[in-house]
Structure 1
Amino acid sequence: MIKKLSIAMILFYTTNVLCQSDFAVKGLCIAAPSKAKVNEFVGFVEKDLAPGKINTLILRIDFNFEYQSRPELRSDNPLGREDVKKIVTACKKYNINLIPQVNLLGHQSWHSTLGKLLEVYPEFDETPTIDLPEKYEWPNKDGLYCKSYCPLHPKVHEVVFDLVDEIMEVFEAKAFHAGMDEVFYLAHPDCPRCYDQDPAKLFADEVNKINEHLVKNESVLWIWGDRLIDGVDSGIGMWEGSHNDTSAAIDMISKSVVICDWHYEKAIPTPAYFALKGFQVIACPWRKSKVAEEQVAMVHSFKQNSTAEMAEKYLGVMHTVWSSADSFLDSYYNPKPDESKDSEANCLRTMIASLKNIED
């Protein structure tokens, strides 16, 4: 009886550890390629991502698609349906979960250029009195990083949900990434609708509104996690955390939302914070190979030393690329002799190697 019980306990423990060690998400987030580079990008999926056991690919599509529902929001020379389907087919072949991203709420401008949404619909601008400078510098007197749309404008969701629905259909996706990082403009005095509102509630209401729209189609919302971290008390700062009072939104949003927790200089252990709050979470590096390696080890350790209920919250890791897909592919396949170890390409290789070491 003792022997049988011991074997049963060993089997239970081994199964449990194996389950907790398994990374459900081994991901890459990158901009969609240009039309001219689609075939090369498909080759990258087949020759590198699939053999590297990457199983999740977030493509930042934004306005780089030939939208039929809102043709006025197409960027120059956008991807067509056939271009996207090439990527969809490759990801299906290798069981890679393909997730489109369109930045919602924040990141509606970049430096001195408006994004397509506010260019076409200036009435959606949260800060209409703040002009984009000819020469962008940070810091600046307006606190301008990127513009936001006003989440309380009565027409904005009619427009952005058309984009979401169309891109989800063409990607054949069951998850959507809404961005929502680095939202500095919210509840701004210039906005007649948002002025004097609680920034945390505004942010949470927008997350929940997007989530409810997706849930109707049995789809899952993913967002970046920085606005849900108190950047002051944690010391994390205004980029990887919030200095504009949005962090309390973490207690107001649906627990079905998946959090992509990015930290690029250190493997800060905030995945534990999100998991304790009830969210599934993914740790995200960018450029520093050491950070990628440490994030893989950290998530693995969290899974190993957690209860089964907590362990399942730690979904895995996802490398992020913030250069264009075209320039990333060039640096990935044609590294310069003096290229630093801390590059986007090397960071991806390190993350893949670290995952392999754990699995082996």
Structure 2
Amino acid sequence: MYIGKLNSKASGLAGNYSFLYRGTNHHFPPNKIFISDDIENKEIPFGTGSLCKGNPIGWKWDSVMDVGVDIKVNLTKECFIGAVCISLLEGSAVQAVEVFSVNKDNHRCIGRYDAQTDSILEGSFNIPVGIKAEVLIIRFKASLKDIVISKLDIIGAVIDDKPIIYPTPVSAKYGQKSIPMNSIKAIATDDDSEDINFAIKYLQERIFERFDINLPLQKKNNACSSDDNSSPLFVNKKEYLISINMCENIKTEGYKIIIDDKGISFSASTRLGLLYAIETFIQICSNGEVPICEIEDYPYKPFRGFHFGLPPREEIEFAKRLIRYVLIPMRYNTLFIEFAGGMRFDKHPEISEAWLQGNRAAKMGLQPPFPHGDMVAGGELLEKDEVRDFIEYARSFGFEIIPEVQSFGHVQYITYAHPDIAEVEEISKDSENKNVDTRLADQPPSKFYHHSYCPSNEKSYEIIYDIIDEIVEVVKPKHYVHMGHDEIYQIGLCPLCKDKDHAELYAKHVTRMHDYLQKKGLGMMIWSDMLQPTEKYLTPPAINKIPKDIVMLDFIWYFHFDIDMEDHILPYGFNVIMGNMYSSHYPRYESRIAKKGMLGGEVSTWCRIDEYNLAKKGKIFDLLYSAEMLWSDTYNSDAREAYTDIIQKMIPKIRDELRGISKPENAQIVSIPITLPETSSSSLPNAIKAYIENISTSLQNVIIDKYIFDLSRTQRLSSTPIEACVNNKFSKLIFLHATTNNAQRVAWKSLTKVGEYVIKYSDNTEVVIPVEYAGNICVWSRRYAKPMPQQYYRHQGYIATYLSDPLIRAKTESGQDITVLGYEWVNPYPDKQIKAIYCSGNDSTDADILLFAISGIR
């Protein structure tokens, strides 16, 4: 599937565009700036004319007046329209731009961009759409100014009948035929290597999970038919074999798939590459058929990472499923795992005991939250065997494991047990940090804990070396250890350091860590904020004093949207990884990642690793979206809506896999609408009323996706519960809902509860389902997965993208978004009969719940 600029030759569309007087079919050629094609042709083919050649076109103000001009774009086939991207030349302006879908004489507004009150539109702007269309009208509403357009790109996806592979492969060529899945007889191999055997087992498991097919293994020399001309992958006219091969000529972590009438072949040069090939194969299998195709693929960037803390003991199995069902299919290859005090240290039991005591006291409210306590092992303590088992599980797939050992700063896990090495003033001037503007900076941790240790105290080195030794012994990293070194708020304070240059102190510590790891045959990574000249620290001169083979992770890009922060690091010879790379916020990504020395990026969690917290912070969606950025060199940030459309269709299956309840794709579900009680006054927003009234089928049995709903009693909830009678057994319930307004989303805090659904069983037991804004519900007028663009939300860039699915995505009459989410609740007691569901809102906010319908799933 092509994703990119649709009004271009590259799209393969035989489309055209034309210029019309606003609201008419009358030709209106540009009269200020143009080339000859714009005048001579009423319908200008893609690839010709100003708009396709990158030349500006324009109309004089006295010809458009306060009316305007339409640009009609005929794509010649229905495509997914992600966004319309527009640039106006300086001095040019309009009142608004509207996008219409045209079907015969019917014009439907599907997007708009308006000037603010008493203002005009100038410069560059994008109009999100997210709708399928074949013919578009882009309407420029004039404001007594010249209209000069330097760019008009229709960004989207060309819809075809070919399977969608995500992330986008380098090359995928399809034939006209397909192979029935039930004709695949076995996996054939004569290679008994560990990598091949691992890949075979993985393929067998994935094929069984997804398609309920058991594929046996047989040797190639036993697979040939008696026909001398037959392929070893072809058994007879109705049966085929899968071959898995190691091939040194394929790029690192790349793969090749060939499916033809001779059989199916996967090839790669690494184990992880073979697993990527298998996941691509899983994606292209559909409706019991495997397409004839040839796929070649390899990564754009070598580091595609995920940063998280050691999982809590009770979430280790979830973390393993996250690796298997998200990170491998999405082509990640590196795990950055922060340890802090979350693993028992044999040489320093006092650190482990202090970690437990401090975290437990914090959870009881006896002292401030322990820094990074909740995100690392849930504030508890993992035994080395538990950590080793988890690491070996991840490494078995081929992941690079890079432990993060916080050193110099963020070492409260050490100084809480060893206050004698803490970097503190002889007489403390402030007992507590002042609050900072968290839109522009991170809030420093409580001074109740000592943030840094003294870099001039040899005991600091003795302890950190011991910790490094124990972590390296358990993890056995192959190439790197991440040594932290970020946000060193306390430096040069103690009697040993107060008269020393901060840059010298920093460089000394960095170099000693580097040299210690080098003796172990390991490289070093660190966060790079202390070397950035934009910050308040006095350490940037150290950039000339530390080894150049240290890999820098830049994360403070999100404090400086207007600066390419890597340009302060790359010229000194360092390689850089985009640290805390969040797809919701990263500006100018395509140009920045292409720079020499940019190795890739890593998505960070900074929260306890479990399904709820990752969903709450938008991290699972972020992982899925960021995968395209790191894997494919064709990534186009303007195509966000096209990628989002692909991702949102993947999430329901991923959600079941992460929960361990996934069923094969041929498993049937039964959806039964649950009727809501009648209401005397629904009090629905006008746009929602209009949407429901325009539904052409019976409201009692509306099919949305694969679910059946009764929309006839859509209503606004109040603090008085309504009762929906059920008297049935269900494995899941789908709540189709939205809110009237948004509620607060406060970073690092609990989500705002706007109501609850109480499930009452026939034995009178109950389960209460919180309805939380930005978690499982969102305002009806917000586009699904629209980023929270402000710097304040840098770590929580997406809301309500995982727990609920956008079952209704529509437009108002004026082209604004309508999104209604289907929240999927998994019944913990599927064998118990549900007697009734009690649904209510609350009066704590004006974000009232609009409950459209409920459907029960078997």
State the TM bucket, normalised to the shorter chain.
Answer: 0.7 to 0.9
**1:216 aligns to what?**
519
**1:8 aligns to what?**
none
- Could you tell me which of 42, 61, 69 is aligned with 2:339? 61
1:86/1:267 Cα in 2 relative to 1: closer, same or farther (>3 Å)? farther
1:86/1:139 Cα in 2 relative to 1: closer, same or farther (>3 Å)? same
- Could you tell me which of 598, 620, 627 is aligned with 1:345? 620
1: CA distance, partners of 2:488 / 2:417: 20
1:44-73 CA-to-partner distances (Å, cap 9, x unmatched) read 111111111111111111110011121111
Instruction: Check the 8 A contact 2:340/2:413 in 1, yes or no.
Output: no
**1:11 aligns to what?**
none
**What displacement does 1:330 show?**
2.1
Q: How does 1:173-212 map to 2 (within 5 A)?
A: 173=477, 174-188=479-493, 191-212=494-515
2: CA distance, partners of 1:349 / 1:224: 24
**What displacement does 1:125 show?**
1.1
Aligned positions, number: 302
**1:48 aligns to what?**
326
Bigger drift between 279-288 and 60-69 goes to 279-288
What CA RMSD, in Å, does the superposition of the two structures yield over aligned residues?
Answer: 2.7
**1:251 aligns to what?**
544
Instruction: Check the 8 A contact 2:433/2:444 in 1, yes or no.
Output: no
**1:161 aligns to what?**
465
Q: How does 1:1-360 map to 2 (within 5 A)?
A: 22-74=300-352, 75-76=355-356, 77-108=380-411, 115-128=412-425, 129-130=427-428, 133=431, 137-139=434-436, 145=445, 147-173=451-477, 174-188=479-493, 191-231=494-534, 242-262=535-555, 263-264=557-558, 266=561, 268-285=563-580, 287=582, 289-291=584-586, 294-295=588-589, 297-302=590-595, 311=596, 313-326=597-610, 329-332=611-614, 335=615, 343-358=618-633
Q: Residue type matched to 2:623 in 1?
A: L
**2:769 aligns to what?**
none
2: CA distance, partners of 1:121 / 1:290: 39
**What displacement does 1:156 show?**
1.0
Q: Residue type matched to 1:353 in 2?
A: E
1:163-186 CA-to-partner distances (Å, cap 9, x unmatched) read 011101100113111111111211
**2:825 aligns to what?**
none
1: CA distance, partners of 2:634 / 2:521: 31
1: CA distance, partners of 2:591 / 2:621: 19
Instruction: Check the 8 A contact 2:330/2:627 in 1, yes or no.
Output: yes
2: CA distance, partners of 1:359 / 1:93: 30
2: CA distance, partners of 1:357 / 1:23: 8
Bigger drift between 65-74 and 348-357 goes to 348-357
1:267/1:21 Cα in 2 relative to 1: closer, same or farther (>3 Å)? farther
**What displacement does 1:286 show?**
5.0
Instruction: State the secondary structure of the residue aligned to 2:453.
Output: coil
**What displacement does 1:137 show?**
4.4
**What displacement does 1:285 show?**
3.4
1:160/1:285 Cα in 2 relative to 1: closer, same or farther (>3 Å)? closer
Instruction: Check the 8 A contact 1:280/1:315 in 2, yes or no.
Output: yes
Whichever structure has more helix as a proportion of its residues is 1
**What displacement does 1:268 show?**
4.0
**1:5 aligns to what?**
none
Any stretches of 5+ residues in structure 2 without a counterpart?
1-250, 255-297, 357-379, 438-442, 636-858
1: CA distance, partners of 2:382 / 2:429: 30
**What displacement does 1:102 show?**
1.9
Instruction: State the secondary structure of the residue aligned to 1:155.
Output: helix
1: CA distance, partners of 2:633 / 2:562: 17
1:183/1:217 Cα in 2 relative to 1: closer, same or farther (>3 Å)? same
**What displacement does 1:267 show?**
7.6
1:127/1:144 Cα in 2 relative to 1: closer, same or farther (>3 Å)? farther
1:44/1:294 Cα in 2 relative to 1: closer, same or farther (>3 Å)? farther
Q: Residue type matched to 1:285 in 2?
A: N
1:123-176 CA-to-partner distances (Å, cap 9, x unmatched) read 11111543985x764249xx9656211100121111111001110110011311
Q: Residue type matched to 1:316 in 2?
A: G
2: CA distance, partners of 1:267 / 1:107: 28
**1:112 aligns to what?**
none
Instruction: Check the 8 A contact 2:600/2:630 in 1, yes or no.
Output: no
Bigger drift between 192-201 and 277-286 goes to 277-286
1:271/1:78 Cα in 2 relative to 1: closer, same or farther (>3 Å)? same
Instruction: Check the 8 A contact 1:282/1:315 in 2, yes or no.
Output: yes
Q: Which has the larger radius of gyration?
A: 2
1:267/1:92 Cα in 2 relative to 1: closer, same or farther (>3 Å)? farther
- The answer to which structure, 1 or 2, has the higher relative contact order (CA under 8 A, 6+ apart) is 1
**What displacement does 1:197 show?**
0.7
Q: Residue type matched to 1:323 in 2?
A: C
1:300/1:160 Cα in 2 relative to 1: closer, same or farther (>3 Å)? closer
1: CA distance, partners of 2:346 / 2:536: 38
1: CA distance, partners of 2:504 / 2:552: 18
1: CA distance, partners of 2:601 / 2:331: 12
**What displacement does 1:201 show?**
0.9
Whichever structure has more strand as a proportion of its residues is 2
**2:37 aligns to what?**
none
**What displacement does 1:227 show?**
0.3
Any stretches of 5+ residues in structure 1 without a counterpart?
1-14, 109-114, 232-241, 303-310, 337-341
**What displacement does 1:214 show?**
0.4
Instruction: Check the 8 A contact 1:64/1:78 in 2, yes or no.
Output: yes
Instruction: Check the 8 A contact 2:601/2:630 in 1, yes or no.
Output: no
1:298/1:96 Cα in 2 relative to 1: closer, same or farther (>3 Å)? farther
Q: TM-score, normalised by structure 1?
A: 0.76
2: CA distance, partners of 1:204 / 1:136: 26
Q: Residue type matched to 2:549 in 1?
A: S
Instruction: State the secondary structure of the residue aligned to 1:185.
Output: coil
